[in-house]
């Protein structure tokens, strides 16, 4: 723990799990079923990280609450069908999480997914063994509100200065800042490193294994 962090908190989709393409496809099929125009891939990637209702409202602000609920159900039906085999973790994630555990870090997840969906993918693969606590958007406040992180910090008994949020979206990094925490931006998920660098992460990485290198003392330059 050369940089002094005790607790590493990870976003799920686009940070640990290679699921961005599946989310985009599910959102666009759901739009078709709901009788709405499909959004661009860039627009859908721009809402990944938000709680689902807020994400739908952001893409389709004209929808009434009942229509958002119907759209949400379409999305859930499509995503579960697409995710019969849960999205794989990115290269290097399993090995790195095992190493972090061996090195004494505490690990957590803070995700815009719903609890039901998160539990499904964790239990299907035995991935729950990695984490001290996980928080999902439908059981707390959604990103970028800091409550999700505050609950994780309280559970683990760790001060914000000793915790690190790792994510692929502006909402992740804003949430960390709102909680008084440092963050790491990953550039292989929803947003580019160039866009994420504007939100003040401690470091930007383009492969998950670089996180362990950086925590161990290696220098990784910010994107140009």
CA–CA distance, 79 with 120 (Å, rounded to integer)? 12
Please return the burial class of 20, using the count of CB atoms within 10 Å of its CB with bins 0-12, 13-18 and 19+.
Answer: buried
Closest CA to 118 of 136, 142, 140, 97: 136
Closest CA to 172 of 150, 142, 151, 152: 142
Catalytic site residue 138? no
105's torsion region: left (phi>0), alpha (psi -120 to 50) or beta? beta
Which residues, in sequence order, are bridge partners of residue 108?
9, 133
Closest CA to 117 of 33, 42, 215, 22: 22
Q: Which of 13, 83, 168, 172 is catalytic?
A: 13
Catalytic site residue 119? no
Angle at 195 between CA 198 and CA 38, to 5 degrees: 140
Q: Which of 11, 83, 168, 172 is catalytic?
A: 11
CA–CA distance, 96 with 102 (Å, rounded to integer)? 10
53's torsion region: left (phi>0), alpha (psi -120 to 50) or beta? alpha
Classify strands 163-167 and 7-10 as parallel, antiparallel or unpaired. Answer: parallel
The residues annotated as belonging to the active site are 11, 13
């Amino acid at each position: 723990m050369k940089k002094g962090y005790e607790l590493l908190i990870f976003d799920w989709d686009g940070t640990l799990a290679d699921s961005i393409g599946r989310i985009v496809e599910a959102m666009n099929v759901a739009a078709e079923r709901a009788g709405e125009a499909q959004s661009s891939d860039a627009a859908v990637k721009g809402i990944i990280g938000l709680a689902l209702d807020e994400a739908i409202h952001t893409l389709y602000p004209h929808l009434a609450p009942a229509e958002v609920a119907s759209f949400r159900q379409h999305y859930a039906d499509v995503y579960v069908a697409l995710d019969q085999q849960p999205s794989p973790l990115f290269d290097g994630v399993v090995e790195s999480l095992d190493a972090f555990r061996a090195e004494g870090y505490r690990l957590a997840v803070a995700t815009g997914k719903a609890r039901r969906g998160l539990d499904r993918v964790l239990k299907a693969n035995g991935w729950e063994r990695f984490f001290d606590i996980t928080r999902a958007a439908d059981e707390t406040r959604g990103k970028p509100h800091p409550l999700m992180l505050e609950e994780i910090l309280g559970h683990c008994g760790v001060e914000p200065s000793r915790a690190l949020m790792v994510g692929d979206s502006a909402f992740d990094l804003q949430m960390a800042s709102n909680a008084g925490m440092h963050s790491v931006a990953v550039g292989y998920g929803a947003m580019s490193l160039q866009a994420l660098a504007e939100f003040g992460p401690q470091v930007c990485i383009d492969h998950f294994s670089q996180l362990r290198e950086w925590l161990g003392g290696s220098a990784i330059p910010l994107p140009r």
